[in-house]
Amino acid sequence: MLIDGLQYANWSEKIFRQMREGNVDAVHVTISYHENFRETVLNFERWNRWFEQYPDLIMKGQWASDIDLARETGRTAIFFGFQNPSPIEDDIGLVEILHSLGARFMQLTYNNQSLLATGCYEAEDSGITRMGRQVIREMNRVGLVVDMSHSADRSTIDAAEISQRPIAITHANPFDWSPALRNKKDDVIRAVTSNGGMFGFSVYPHHLKDKTDCTITSFCEMIARTADLYGVSHLGIGTDLCQDQPDSIVEWMRVGRWTKEIDYGEGSAAAPGFPDMPSWFRDNRDFGNIAKGLSDVGMNTDEIAAIMGGNWYRFFADNFGPEA
């Protein structure tokens, strides 16, 4: 089973076919960065058209059982998530509405302070806000997973402790391997995984040691070391693949509507667009390189199967439905 914990590609028939060539069973797809509720609904509509146009390639995913159906019918199940709480605006009631439309993950922040928590680029981290506590409670109730991929340390640890259900960091890497602002320190990863949460490893070059030049061996050795520290059952892949996106999209991701200036994030003024992907992961057909790399660094078949999709499947099954 092969499940990717996050992608934000420029979707097309070409990419859908590459998913099938790569035997990708399910993908968590970002459908909102800074969009408000109505704009996010339009993104759901656009995906509904794609489901109509390519019914032999993709299908809407809402529950883990949809991955079983996708595997039986040779398709990829698409699960939806937000990289910002902007779709709920300032209305906690929209949490349930968005879950009913198909949302299954929501980040409490992107890189900045939100109404719910602090983003990883802020100088001061005040933790989960009063509204954040209420929204986490409501997300737990309906089955919308708390994602802290772009959140600051204290806020993430707070969320792991406040949430009554496991949370996720869908796409990041350990800070001690590659000290990017977006990567996660030991106490953060431990807080998430010790409460049953999931940590997805990213192949986005700004999160990799040596960036685009990162080797598959270095990446897989890092995964094996992380499994030794936190347990293999809490780990998956969340590539953060942004395939075929124009450079203008990375500006939208970082800037949204909050500033008139270009925010280069973890990039640089000299190279403001998307970085080149490492040679061993260009698109969805390359997941086999990761599986082979994990085998080459000594992980066994069961461990590899868990990381490549089994752990995400279990997490989906346990956390997408209403609170018991």
Which domains are delineated in the chain? 3-319 (3.20.20.140)
Count of other CB atoms within 10 angstroms of residue 44:
16
**Cα 237 from Cα 218, distance rounded (Å):** 15
Give pLDDT tens digits for 149-161: 999 999 999 999 9
The average pLDDT across 273-287 equals 94
Confidence at residue 143, expressed as pLDDT on a 0 to 100 scale = 98
**Exposed / middle / buried, residue 198 (Cβ in 10 Å: 0-12, 13-18, 19+):** buried
Give pLDDT tens digits for 7-32: 999 999 999 999 999 999 999 999 99
Which band of pLDDT confidence, cut at 50, 70 and 90, is reported for residue 269?
very low
Q: Which residue has the higher pLDDT, 184 or 271?
A: 184
Crossing angle of helices 153-162 and 130-142, rounded to 10°: 50
Amino acid at 236: G
Q: In the chain, what is the straight-line distance between the N-terminal and C-terminal CA atoms, in Å?
A: 27
Average pLDDT of every residue of the chain: 95
Give the 3-state secondary structure percentages of the chain, helix then strand then coil, rounded to 5: 45, 15, 40
CB 10 within 8 A of CB 33: no
Give me the residues paired with residue 168 across strands: 147, 198
Is the predicted pLDDT of residue 268 greater than 90, yes or no?
no
Q: How many Cα neighbours within 13 Å face the side chain of 220?
A: 22
The average pLDDT across 88-110 equals 98
The average pLDDT across 215-233 equals 98
